[in-house]
Chain A
Amino acid sequence: MPTLTPQRLTELKVHANRVREGIIRALLAAGSGHSAGPLDMADVFTVLYEHVLRHKPAEPEWDDRDRLLLSCGHIAPVRYSAMAYGGYFPVEELLTLRKFGTRLQGHPERVRLPAVETTSGPLGEGLAQGTGMALAAKMDGKSWRVYVVTSDAEHQCGLHWEAAMTAAKFKLDNLIAIVDRNFIQIDGSTEDVMPLEPFADKYRAFNWEVFECDGNDIAQVAETIEKAKAVKGKPSVIIAHTVPGKGVSYMEGDYTWHGKPPNKEQADQALRELEAERERILAHG
Chain B
Amino acid sequence: MASALDGVAAMRLAELKDPANVKQVPTRNGFGEGVVDAGKRNRNVIAICADLSESTRMLGFKEALPDQYIEIGVSEQLLVAMAAGLASAGKIPFIASYAMFNPGRSWEQVRTTMALNETNVKIAGAHAGVSVGPDGATHQAIEDIAIMRCIPHMTVVVPCDSIQTKKATLAVAEMTGPVYLRFGREKTPVVTTEETPFELGKAQIFREGRDVAIVVCGILVYNALIAAQTLAKHGIDCMVINNHTIKPMDEETIVAAAERCGAVVTVEEHQVFGGMGSRVAEILAQRRPAPVEFVGVHDQFGQSGDPAELIEHYGMGAVAIEAAVRRAIARK
Interface residues, chain A, CB within 8 Å of chain B?
A: 67, 109-111, 117-122, 125, 128-137, 139-140, 158-159, 162-163, 165-166, 169
State A119–B75 Cα separation when bound (angstroms). Answer: 21
A-B contact count (CB 8 A): 96
State A161–B238 Cα separation when bound (angstroms). Answer: 54
User: Which of the residues A117, A134, A136, A166 comes within 8 Å of B91, measured between beta carbons?
Assistant: A136
B89 & A131 in contact (Cβ 8 Å cutoff): no
Return B142 CB to nearest CB of chain A, in Å.
25
Residues of A within 8 A of B46 (CB): 139
B282 beta carbon closer than 8 Å to chain A? no
Identify 8 new A-B residue pairs, CB closer than 8 A, beyond the known A128-B81, A133-B89, A139-B46: A110-B88, A118-B117, A120-B112, A129-B88, A129-B113, A133-B88, A162-B78, A163-B82
B84 & A129 in contact (Cβ 8 Å cutoff): yes
Chain B window 67-104, contacts with chain A (Cβ cutoff 8 Å), 1 for yes, 0 for no: 10010110101100111111111110000000000000
B85 & A137 in contact (Cβ 8 Å cutoff): no
Residues of B within 8 A of A137 (CB): 89
A132 & B117 in contact (Cβ 8 Å cutoff): no
Interface residues, chain B, CB within 8 Å of chain A?
A: 46, 67, 70, 72-73, 75, 77-78, 81-91, 108-109, 112-113, 116-118
Return B93 CB to nearest CB of chain A, in Å.
8
Main secondary structure of the interface of B (DSSP, over half): helix
Return A142 CB to nearest CB of chain B, in Å.
8
Residues of A within 8 A of B70 (CB): 135
Main secondary structure of the interface of A (DSSP, over half): helix
Return B141 CB to nearest CB of chain A, in Å.
21
Top 3 A-B residue pairs of the complex, sorted by shortest distance between their CB atoms = A132-B85, A128-B81, A136-B89
State A140–B70 Cα separation when bound (angstroms). Answer: 14
A119 & B117 in contact (Cβ 8 Å cutoff): yes
A119 & B86 in contact (Cβ 8 Å cutoff): no
A110 & B118 in contact (Cβ 8 Å cutoff): yes
B82 & A111 in contact (Cβ 8 Å cutoff): no
B82 & A131 in contact (Cβ 8 Å cutoff): yes
Residues of B within 8 A of A169 (CB): 72
Residues of B within 8 A of A166 (CB): 72-73, 75, 78, 82
State A214–B84 Cα separation when bound (angstroms). Answer: 32
- Known contacts A111-B117, A111-B118; A132/B89 CB under 8 A: yes
State A34–B103 Cα separation when bound (angstroms). Answer: 31
A122 & B77 in contact (Cβ 8 Å cutoff): no
B77 & A132 in contact (Cβ 8 Å cutoff): no
A118 & B113 in contact (Cβ 8 Å cutoff): yes
Residues of B within 8 A of A122 (CB): 108-109, 112
Q: Which residue of B lies closest to A137 (CB)?
A: B89
User: Which of the residues A110, A134, A163 comes within 8 Å of B81, measured between beta carbons?
Assistant: A163
- Known contacts A118-B117, A125-B113; A162/B85 CB under 8 A: no
Q: Which residue of B lies closest to A157 (CB)?
A: B77
- For this complex, 22 residue pairs linking A to B, each with C-beta atoms less than 8 Å apart, are A109-B116, A118-B113, A119-B113, A121-B112, A125-B81, A125-B109, A128-B113, A129-B113, A132-B81, A132-B83, A132-B87, A133-B85, A133-B86, A133-B89, A136-B85, A139-B46, A159-B78, A162-B72, A163-B78, A163-B81, A165-B73, A166-B72
State A163–B79 Cα separation when bound (angstroms). Answer: 9
State A158–B74 Cα separation when bound (angstroms). Answer: 12
A132 & B82 in contact (Cβ 8 Å cutoff): yes
State A3–B233 Cα separation when bound (angstroms). Answer: 87
State A27–B34 Cα separation when bound (angstroms). Answer: 51
Residues of A within 8 A of B108 (CB): 122
Residues of B within 8 A of A119 (CB): 112-113, 116-117
- Known contacts A110-B118, A132-B85; A159/B113 CB under 8 A: no
Q: Which residue of A lies closest to B78 (CB)?
A: A162
- Known contacts A125-B109, A140-B90, A159-B78; A131/B85 CB under 8 A: yes
State A132–B90 Cα separation when bound (angstroms). Answer: 11
Residues of B within 8 A of A129 (CB): 81-82, 84-85, 88, 113
- Known contacts A128-B77, A128-B82; A159/B109 CB under 8 A: yes
State A132–B88 Cα separation when bound (angstroms). Answer: 9
Residues of A within 8 A of B82 (CB): 128-129, 131-132, 135, 163, 166
Return B176 CB to nearest CB of chain A, in Å.
13
Residues of B within 8 A of A163 (CB): 78, 81-82
State A166–B108 Cα separation when bound (angstroms). Answer: 20
Most chain A CB atoms below 10 A, which of B83, B87, B89, B109: B89
Residues of B within 8 A of A125 (CB): 81, 109, 112-113
Q: Which residue of B lies closest to A148 (CB)?
A: B85
Q: Which residue of B lies closest to A107 (CB)?
A: B112
Residues of A within 8 A of B78 (CB): 128, 131, 159, 162-163, 166
Return B198 CB to nearest CB of chain A, in Å.
30
Q: Which residue of B lies closest to A134 (CB)?
A: B85
